[in-house]
Amino acid sequence: MTSNDEIYYREGLPVPETPAKDSSPEFWKQTNIIGKPLPRVDAYERVSGTAVYPSDILLPNMIYGAILRCPHPHARVKRIDIAEAEKMNGVRAIITGESRAAKNVKWKYRKQQVPLFDPHCRFEGEVVAAVAADSWYQARDATRAIKVDYEILEFVADYEHALDASAAKVQEQGNLLNEEKYSRGDTEKGFAEADVVLEQTYHTPCELHTPMELHGCVANWERDRLTVWESSQGVYGVQSRIAEALDLPLSKVRAAGHYMGGGFGSKLWPGKYTVLCALLAKKTARPVKMLLSREETCLCVGNRPANTMRIKAGTKKDGTLTALEFDCSGPSGAFPAGGAQLVDWLVRDLYQCANVRTRSRDVLINAGPARPFRAPGHPQGAWALEQMIDSLAEKINMDPVQLRLKNIPLKSQAREGNPPYTTTGLRQCLERGAEEFGWQTAAERIRKHNGQDSHLKRGIGVGACLWIAGGGGPPSTVIIKLYKDGSMNLNMGASDVGTGTKTIMAQVAAEELGVNPSVIQIEHADTATTQYATPSGGSKTVPTEAPAVRNAAISLKRELISMAAEDLQIDKNELVFIGDEIVWTKNNETRIKITEVSTLQKRGEVIGVGYRGPNPADKVVNPFAAHFCELEVNTLTGEILILRFLGVHDSGRVMNRLTFDNQVYGGIVMGIGFGLTEFRQLDERQTGKLCNKNWHDYKLPTALDVPLAMTSLPVELDDPESNNTGAKGLGEPVTIPTAAAIANALNMATGVRFTRAPVLPMEVIRQLSKKNEG
């Protein structure tokens, strides 16, 4: 017991009652720490540069790895000559498909198993050889000195022609990877009942993740145990994949990645590079660091597939949606990766509609396989559906917000048995958003403005969404360890991918234990020292981990009470935990400071273990949102200036207002990129190679492309059924309806439906010229 222990403790914070064993904790009606705009617990580390990212790791005797990649979209490796490269200064090891080290090593692209080195290279960037050398430069130089004879094969890069009879085959079985059909009701009947039926085709571009920190890892062997520090969204995913590839017991692979500089879905699992790094480290008996170049990350660690979507929709004059038909296709790349996956989900489930039919076709092309990208499928689907809803509203002369409000579902229509949502905040998002945004007055103001003789036209637009996941769920195990001086470790396997997970977990534990979050040190994202967790993706990290943290805190309180019962010689059921002390309910004079509990002092620590409980049976936990945007179009130059943006989100309880708003702003920025500036360009008609694999040609929005006036408005609905914290996911819905809201605003400003993203200035001018020509 130290004299300054007061700084740790209560500071007058009421502590929630400790529930009896096997009973669930009560829903927090009021919170003291949760929801507060608490700065990040690791802000100093991140800003000062003391945080050690995998890219920062430097081990004694460490050397560097580099990969030689196939420069063609489709080729067969005939011969590899490493003789010259081997002789180069500093080169320690070269492995190719011929090397003993790599002979039987396999890799899995999703479910398809392939050799680590496949002479049949199906996309530009597939691995051909790997080098380890004393410096990164020497390693790169050596890859260039390797001579490879390729048999260049016919390729297909344009997914819209991938199913043509004349198209080159990416895989032997043909280019149609998967066709998924869904239907409910009778769309023919639905269209017959409609007063208005519209049909339109929409396109969205292939988007690259380009996280700030490059993909890569450091691998080190201590005898037969491998440690991999990987820039990753989930260390357990790294562990299992690498153990599988190298045929090692899980216990012999330690994966860690305490900090990471962005992933957006592209770091949910490791890559072939991780395996190569481990093999090079083994062969050289040195730690090896392997960071991909920016160009490599653009080629081969994922993308959001481009999509073509045909949508047909019918509505009655009163705004009742009668039928929706949706046909979409998209490329997985050269291996199964979900090219059209979830693109139709919003059509299936966002609005009340009895008759829905969708078809999604996933095709193969000779390009890098896709990986999940922040809300896979959803922003694409929203681009089509949310524009179509606006078109319908225009046709039946109804306000687009009203049309959406008319069709709010309370049940998930697309799921078996139509389970209800625990909460559906869609109505509140639209209503409160329209009010906050000044939807009606803005519309009037803009109509007046656009009536003037000016080349600057304004528009407002709305887009709504839900996110298919975001409820979280088991498994998750969290341990909270109380040291004898009263300080704590919170131990969890999940990664903080930059969203503020650690901060929120500290808040949850602090809330339940009634302590200041600063006493809680977080240990996370290390398979050797923390508990199993699924990767941080799907907007599920908070709703998955937070309830387990709360349970761990409760378990810790129970443990302490039991120990205190021995010291006080009082039945533990008559004791309560009030933060720094345990008190007898019958006489509060009888109390003991927790740091004075003798068992704690003897053992040095006490542990609380929490597990994530099941989700509510027969109910669905989904977040909902609506985005509102105002913009100005220069009809002479095609320039688009976003004036303001409002993101309204029902993600259950707001755990931390700062990190909440951060997600909303970040999602809007990403959505602006999706709608206006970003696209991957393949040289489809000539070489099939990637044209824009750098940050100049691949155009992320800059600070000047983003409005200063961004507002985040949470719709905080009590959702006690979702989980014991009431939090739903947020990180993905924040970027789903953004681009569609922009497109709808563009339509108001110009009278043109921009069906093809991104809407660059030339696209604006092209469409306006078309319109003016009639």
Partner 1 sequence: MLPKFSYVRPDKLDKAVKYLERDHAAIHAGGTDLLGCLREGIMDSSLLVSISGLKDLVGIKETGNGGLRIGSLTTITEVAENRMIAKKYPGLARGAAEVASPQLRNQGTLGGNLCQKPRCWYYRGEFHCLRKGGERCFAVKGENQFHAIFGHDNICVITHPSDTAPVLVALKAKVNVVGPEDKRTIAIEDLHVSPTDNVQAETVLKQGEIITHIILPAPSRNLYTTYRKIRARRAWDFALAGVALALVMDGERVVRASVVLSGAAPVPWRSTESEQVLTGKILSPETIRKAARAAVADAEPCRAINTRWICSGACSKKNCIKPEAPDRYEQGIGQRRSCFCRIGRQAAAPGALRLCTTR
Q: Which residues bind partner 1 (CB under 8 A)?
A: 71, 137, 140-141, 293, 636-639, 676-677, 681-687, 689-694, 696-697, 699-705, 760-762, 766, 769, 773
* Spatial distance between the Cα atoms of 221 and 246, rounded to a whole number of angstroms: 13
Reference 738, options 706, 773, 769; nearest CA is 706
Reference 386, options 75, 737, 670; nearest CA is 737
- Which helix (H) or strand (E) segment is 63 a member of? strand 63-69
Contact between 753 and 580 under an 8 Å Cβ cutoff? The reply is no
SS3 content of the chain, % helix, strand, coil (to 5): 30, 25, 45
* Spatial distance between the Cα atoms of 404 and 321, rounded to a whole number of angstroms: 10
Angle at 16 between CA 15 and CA 18, to 5 degrees: 110
* Spatial distance between the Cα atoms of 410 and 35, rounded to a whole number of angstroms: 27
Of 454 and 587, which CB lies nearer to partner 1 in the complex structure?
Answer: 454
Of 354 and 760, which CB lies nearer to partner 1 in the complex structure?
Answer: 760
φ and ψ at residue 18, rounded to 5 degrees? -85, 115
User: Least CB distance from residue 630 to partner 1, whole Å?
Assistant: 17
* Spatial distance between the Cα atoms of 50 and 43, rounded to a whole number of angstroms: 10
User: Least CB distance from residue 697 to partner 1, whole Å?
Assistant: 5
* Spatial distance between the Cα atoms of 312 and 355, rounded to a whole number of angstroms: 12
User: Least CB distance from residue 159 to partner 1, whole Å?
Assistant: 15
User: Least CB distance from residue 47 to partner 1, whole Å?
Assistant: 20
User: Least CB distance from residue 636 to partner 1, whole Å?
Assistant: 8
Task: Say if residue 284 is exposed, middle or buried (CB neighbours under 10 Å; 0-12, 13-18, 19+).
Answer: middle
Alpha helices per DSSP H over 594-690: 598-603, 657-672
User: Least CB distance from residue 692 to partner 1, whole Å?
Assistant: 6
Contact between 447 and 648 under an 8 Å Cβ cutoff? The reply is no
Q: Say which residues have a Cβ less than 8 Å from residue 161's Cβ, sequence separation at least 6.
A: 167
Sheet with 488-492, side-by-side order of all strands: 520-524, 488-492, 477-483, 605-611
Of 290 and 533, which CB lies nearer to partner 1 in the complex structure?
Answer: 290
The token duo for 203 is 């396109």
Give the length of the chain.
774
Residue with tokens 């691998």: 219
User: Least CB distance from residue 291 to partner 1, whole Å?
Assistant: 12
The token duo for 649 is 């989100």
Of 454 and 518, which CB lies nearer to partner 1 in the complex structure?
Answer: 454
* Spatial distance between the Cα atoms of 446 and 255, rounded to a whole number of angstroms: 55
Reference 326, options 339, 338, 308; nearest CA is 308
How many other β-carbons are positioned within 10 Å of the β-carbon of residue 569?
A: 7
User: Least CB distance from residue 270 to partner 1, whole Å?
Assistant: 24
Of 104 and 686, which CB lies nearer to partner 1 in the complex structure?
Answer: 686
User: Least CB distance from residue 705 to partner 1, whole Å?
Assistant: 5
User: Least CB distance from residue 699 to partner 1, whole Å?
Assistant: 5
Contact between 371 and 301 under an 8 Å Cβ cutoff? The reply is yes
Of 303 and 501, which CB lies nearer to partner 1 in the complex structure?
Answer: 303
- β-pair type (520-524, 488-492): parallel
Reference 715, options 627, 635, 612, 630; nearest CA is 627
* Spatial distance between the Cα atoms of 374 and 469, rounded to a whole number of angstroms: 12
* Spatial distance between the Cα atoms of 677 and 760, rounded to a whole number of angstroms: 6
Of 72 and 502, which CB lies nearer to partner 1 in the complex structure?
Answer: 72
The token duo for 394 is 């225009």
Of 30 and 686, which CB lies nearer to partner 1 in the complex structure?
Answer: 686
- Residues paired with 246 in a beta bridge: none
Of 293 and 315, which CB lies nearer to partner 1 in the complex structure?
Answer: 293
> Quick check: helix, strand or coil at residue 345?
helix
Of 580 and 684, which CB lies nearer to partner 1 in the complex structure?
Answer: 684
User: Least CB distance from residue 745 to partner 1, whole Å?
Assistant: 17
User: Least CB distance from residue 683 to partner 1, whole Å?
Assistant: 5
User: Least CB distance from residue 637 to partner 1, whole Å?
Assistant: 5
Of 428 and 767, which CB lies nearer to partner 1 in the complex structure?
Answer: 767
User: Least CB distance from residue 701 to partner 1, whole Å?
Assistant: 6
Of 528 and 691, which CB lies nearer to partner 1 in the complex structure?
Answer: 691
Of 21 and 455, which CB lies nearer to partner 1 in the complex structure?
Answer: 455
Of 480 and 743, which CB lies nearer to partner 1 in the complex structure?
Answer: 743
